[in-house]
């Protein structure tokens, strides 16, 4: 069972660990955000195109049965 510790000591430890984090600069954050958005748009267009192609092929195959 975990031992109970002082909440004040816990918050001090959290603050100490947070100060060790290397935070990205504003420029790095903006570039990363733009890259993520570009990849989302690319993936959306790719899957939209694939869905349209598969739908067209499926309708073509099903129309052959008539």
pTM more than 0.75: no
Quick check: is 52 in a domain?
A: yes
Quick check: is 5 in a domain?
A: no
Quick check: is 56 in a domain?
A: yes
Determine the pLDDT at residue 65. Answer: 77
Domain with 34 in it: 28-66
| Closest C-alpha to 5, from 46, 14, 31 | 14
Quick check: is 63 in a domain?
A: yes
Determine the pLDDT at residue 2. Answer: 57
Q: What string of pLDDT tens digits covers the 66 residues of the chain?
A: 456 778 898 899 999 999 999 999 999 999 999 999 999 999 999 999 999 999 999 999 999 877
Determine the pLDDT at residue 22. Answer: 92
Domain count, the chain: 1
Quick check: is 15 in a domain?
A: no
Quick check: is 23 in a domain?
A: no
Determine the pLDDT at residue 6. Answer: 87
Quick check: is 53 in a domain?
A: yes
């Amino acid at each position: 069972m975990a031992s109970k510790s002082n909440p004040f000591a816990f918050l001090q430890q959290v603050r100490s660990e947070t100060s060790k984090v290397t935070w990205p600069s504003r420029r790095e954050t903006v570039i990363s955000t733009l890259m993520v958005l570009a990849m989302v748009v690319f993936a959306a267009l790719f899957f939209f195109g694939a869905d349209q192609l598969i739908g067209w092929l499926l309708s073509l195959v099903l129309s052959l049965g008539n």
